[in-house]
Structure 1
Amino acid sequence: MTGESSIPIDVLRPKTTRRVGCWNVRTLYQTGKLAQMVREMEHYKIELLRVSEARWTGSGSKQLASGHQILYSGRTDDHHSKGVAIITTKEVHRSLLEWKPVSERIITARYNSAFAKLTAVVCYAPTDDAEDEEKISFYDSQQKVVDDTPSHDVLLILGDLNVKVGKCNQGKETIMGQQGIGECNNNRESLCTFCQENDLVIGGTIFMHKDIHKTTWNSPDGHTKNQIVFAQHNQFDHIIINKRWRSSLLDVVAKQGADVGSDHSLVLAKSKLKLRKSRKKDQRPPPINIQKLKDTKTMRSFQLKVQNKFSTLMEHPDEIDMETFNNVLI
């Protein structure tokens, strides 16, 4: 696990709305592409952006001329394929506690907060037609990352998961809503099982928007469309959040106007930390102050009341039942 030395700030606050993005940009291994992405981040006021198909090799951390920070994880050979990255503003980077380049498909980062720390998992899943062994390996790695995440953390999984979850949520009401689009693909069951086992919610399926603001991928023929899932999606890129902090996810929407020359749309999520209200302890009546009985006048008054109560009972002993007895004592 790689750490970053800084003076941590609170990335999540009850009164601060954070804007998180999710985008498959197809490549960062192209002159001018990174600068173009930063401009779009500034335009949409995005503070943390997940990037897939970065196509950078190795792993590392770099500060950009704009002040943004990029963490990246790629292949260990010289092949410029796959690769994931996290780009954050300077302020959000100051809250970084630690980060880990897991593989060319997964990178994690944990950010500080006084109330609940944020763990962001950025991923790029195998396609629907990939070998089963590759898919199983990916979800095994994802599961280990979730297992290693502290249970109190706000967990956001941000990625191109190559999953179309569709509209129907029958039998899966706990992990998704009915705001998906299109039909599902074969990868759906793997993602749904993963979410059910880890109490996760697919954010892009629970917020009502027009279909154009749910579509996250356009096919080359211009007709086939898929929806992205934000981990807090017919859906390739998704934002997924752990159910414990579901109320902290305010919105997930696709922005068709953002452009970096990709066939995927930018997915924008808004999040504000919502704390649970603490339950008040049961209010119990104050204890009886027996010290008052030391006063002669008070003691006689008390004795008289007790005698009157029991004299009422003794007038009709045959009619006494438990309910009558309790009513007299109250």
Structure 2
Amino acid sequence: MKGQPSAPDHAVSKQDKTSTINTTKQRQFSHRKPTIIGTYNVHTLRETEKRGNQETLTFKQSDRFHQLIHGCEEKGIDIVTIQEHRLPAADGINTYIEIYNNKEWRFDFCSATKTTQGNHLGGIGLLTSSKAGKSLTATTKMSERIITATFAGNPLTTVIVAYAPTEEKPKTEKDNFYNQFIKCAHETSPHNMLVIAGDFNAGIGEDSHQSNPRVIAKHVLHKATNDNGSRLVEFCEATNTRPTQPRFPHPKSRIWTWQPDANRNAKDGKNRAQLDHILINGKWINSVKNVRAFNSIDQNQLRAPRETKNKRLKFDWRKLKDNEELQEQYTVTIQNRFNALRREDDRDDMQPKYDRFVTAIKEAAKSTVGLVRKKAPKNWVSSETIKFLKARNKSKRNKCANMKQLNQDLLDSYEQDRINYLEEKLQQLKEAAKANKLRTT
């Protein structure tokens, strides 16, 4: 297996406080580039090595952790919220650094809960890539089931890791979790991009969409909502957050996130459930471009909302407005492609048919009207100003006596360029108004 990780001797850093601050120089978290965020119930990351009669927690050469990072690296995932790692550790936030393919992966986690039998259950954490880790400013343990993380940027990004009690847990335990959960969400600034990801053990059904379509979109797996699902819907209403996955149409094989071990190899789809969810505050709901579930082993069982790396095609439909010949050509092209689709095998599932339909539309439009060609914005600074800038910088380095005059010349040149740019824009607006093409400016 390529890229075997090497762990430093001080791999696990135990923290006494509930919050850790990344003291390295933070890089702004970019919202212009695609970022993939996932949630994953790993069931366990624990591996032990025996030293005498004692078992000691170790991350070194951990197969499970290596596979987790390998899957994230392969899929380009930057942030993963982890549930049920079952790792015993010190109180508060613990940090583990793993070097993989010369990149630093950071795992912030809190200890699992020790049972009366001596086992450890639960435990949550946040895994970040080297890119996301450079923007991480703080991680805070709110409870055994909730961790918050803040990433530098404009706006700030807050990620909440959550692991809700299962459906059969007592009502008081669920109430305590959601009271803390709502408080945590309300304490987050409304200007932040808030992403909440975790295992909520919540089945949201079609009845929730019918009763509250503003919050719950229609693409859900279940018919009826369970108790945890109702609590999650109420949480979304109280905090103005939205489940992201129901917004995107996918086949059921890309929606379910859990199935019992006894049904692991079954192909009938029975007993599968959609229990893991990723939420985002309503202000930023349109920032999410796609959400789907990954359920097979080779896809590492990661569920990630993904901003597509393929740019949306924009066709120049304005060409069809006044060009009758092009309209006729487009109509003929569409008809020919539709006739070809009718000859396809009718036994195919609906999804392949729909994909071929969309492809036919795009190919016809691309071959006739073409794509919108975005013009590169013109630099408003002239080459003369650039010369003044280089001369001023050179004079500043050499501490020349005429530096003050060069600086004034540079400022005057900037001001003249600004005037020229605004006059040119004004002239473009006048010409566009005469031609009734204001949308082009």
TM interval, shorter chain, is: 0.7 to 0.9
Q: Residue deviations 1:143-181, cap 9 Å, x none?
A: 121122111011111000000002330121121100011
Query: Could you tell me how far apart the structure 1 residues matched to 2:113 and 2:228 are?
Result: 27
Q: Provide the residue aligned with 2:216 in structure 1.
A: 176
Q: Which residue of 1 aligns with 2:195?
A: 156
Residues of 1 paired with 2:184 and 2:306: CA distance? 24
Question: In the TM superposition, what is the alpha-carbon distance from 1:79 to its structure 2 partner?
Answer: 4.4
Is the 1:48–1:89 Cα contact (8 Å) retained in structure 2?
A: yes
Distance 2:27 2:146 in 1: 25
Match of 1:238 among 277, 280, 285: 277
Structure 1 SS opposite 2:305:
strand
Q: State the Cα RMSD in Å.
A: 1.8
SS at 1:21 equivalent: strand
| 1:8-47 paired onto structure 2 within 5 Å | 8-14=26-32, 16-30=33-47, 31-47=62-78
Whichever residue aligns with residue 76 of structure 2, its letter is K
Q: Does residue 133 of structure 2 align to residue 97 of structure 1?
A: no
Q: 144, 147, 152: which one pairs with 1:112? A: 152
**CA distance in 2 between partners of 1:260 and 1:54 (Å):** 19
Report which of the two has the higher share of strand.
1
Flag the 1:259–1:128 CA change in 2: closer, same or farther, 3 A.
farther
The aligned amino acid for 2:295 is Q
Alignment-derived partner of residue 346 in structure 2: none
> What are the residue-to-residue correspondences of 1:1-330 with 2, within 5 Å?
1-14=19-32, 16-30=33-47, 31-57=62-88, 58=90, 59-66=93-100, 67-75=104-112, 77=114, 79-113=119-153, 115-168=154-207, 169-183=209-223, 184-222=225-263, 223-227=270-274, 236-259=275-298, 265-271=301-307
TM-score using structure 1 length: 0.75
Q: What secondary structure does 2:303 align onto? A: strand
Q: 1:2 to 1:111 in 2, by over 3 A?
A: same
Query: For residue 247 of structure 2, what is the amino acid of its counterpart?
Result: I
SS for the counterpart of 1:182 is: coil
Return the structure number with greater relative CO, CA threshold 8 A, min gap 6.
1
| Deviation readout 1:96-143 (Å, 9 max, x if unpaired) | 111102222111100011x21110001111000001111011111111
**Whole-angstrom distance in 1 between the partners of 2:255 and 2:124:** 23
8 Å contact from structure 2 (residues 113, 123) kept in 1: no
**Computing the radius of gyration over CA atoms, which structure comes out larger, 1 or 2?**
1
Letter in 1 for 2:37: V
Partners of 2:257 and 2:98 lie apart in 1 by: 27
The count of corresponding residues between Structure 1 and Structure 2 is: 259
Instruction: State the AA in 2 paired with 1:70.
Output: F
Unaligned ranges ≥5, structure 1: 228-235, 273-330
Distance 1:83 1:129, change over 3 A: same
Relative to its length, the structure with more helix (as a share) is: 2
